Structures are given as C-alpha cells and as structure tokens.
Homo-oligomer: A and B are copies of this chain.
C-alpha cells in the first residue's frame, strides 16, 4: 500500500489510534449505520492497511464501542447544563429524562451499540447512564419525596426511559404519534410520578383500583390549576 500517510515515529503509535477513531466516526455519521464500519473501510479511510487496526483495538467490537463512547460524554454535559439552577428534585429528574431521551434519539447508532447489543463485559455506557439517574434519584430521596435505595429507584426510571428510546430506535416503522416530545414527556411523567408513588406504597398495602382512583380524586382536587410554562 503506497499511501500518503507516513509511518509514525517510535513512541507515537498512539497517533494511529486517534486517526482510526476519527475515520470510524466520520464513516459512522456519513452512513448512519454501524454495518458500514468494516475494518477494511475504516482502515482505508485512515490511510492504513486493515490489520493495522488490530494494533490498537482487540477486534471490531472493541473499535465499535470505542467510537460510540466518544459521543457519550456529551450526554452528561447536557444533563448538567439543563438541570443547572433547578431546585425541585422531581423537576431535575424530568429534565434529565428529557435530555436522555432526546440525546438517545439524536445518536441512534451509538445508543444501539452501547446499550442494545449483548455486551459481554460491563459496558461503560451503561454504567454512566445508571450513575446519572442514581444521582437524580438520590436527590429525590434526600428531599423526602421518594423512599428507598436510590439504586433501586434508578433502575425503574432508567428502564422506562431506555424502553422508550430503544423502541423508537428499533421499531421506527411502528405507529408512533407525530409529536415525539409529548410522548417523551408522558413517559417521563409516568416514570417520575410512578417511582414516587410506588416508593411510598408498601407492597403489602397495594391498593385496589377503586381505592387508588378514589384516593387520587381527592388528592388532585386539592391542587389548584396553576399556570406555569412546561419547561
């Protein structure tokens, strides 16, 4: 292969790793599918022969995960930004949830690679996601609005959001409503309210449908309709 790229000097082998990641990333956004990320295509774009990729990545999956993780830091940044200065912990949870869903839908390939494929090892993507949610849940617990271990609450919250995002990604041809923002908001509200309520009702005291309906009628009747912007 007589390419333009010149061999790196000893000690600078890491350069190639970066160039491969860059090539893979551009290939990913151009094609929109990870199927296009073949070792040959990536290597060619990086101006290098195919087996050279193995100098820096154990196998294709390793490369795939590494390139998808590159966009992942942005998620945390956006969550912090979006919930900055918000006091009400439930509202923080809501904002983070919306950011999470929006981010997932904006990066469907990365989301799918990091969270929707069987990953043999402890996926860093998953641990990150869980950490964010656990933090937000912990805030709700210390505010006295939720009860129980933050980790347990977080699993439920994460499940709801992840379920929505992954269904939207995997089943694009499904008969989804037009207004995705409202859909996301509905699920965020459901998950938030549900976690609060479920954490306050002991399993042994699960009410019947009638009891619950009656109780909630009384509850919501006390809330005057307020007029505040949704976000």
**What residues make up the interface of A, taking CB atoms closer than 8 Å to B?**
88-91, 112, 115-123, 126-127, 130, 140, 143-145, 152, 155-156, 158-164, 166-167, 169-175, 177, 183, 185-187, 189-198, 200-213, 215-220, 222-228, 230
Contact = CB atoms under 8 A, between A and B. Distances in A.
A189 B56 CA distance: 46
A103 to B, nearest CB: 16
A3 to B, nearest CB: 34
Nearest to A206: B189
A91 to B, nearest CB: 7
Copies of this chain present in the complex amount to 2
Nearest to A163: B163
A160 B158 contact: no
Contact of A122 (B88, B130, B174, B218): B174
6 contacts: A119-B173, A159-B187, A160-B190, A161-B163, A163-B164, A190-B195
Nearest to A89: B209
Nearest to A144: B213
B216 A170 contact: no
Contacts of A167: 115, 126, 158-159, 162
A119 B170 contact: yes
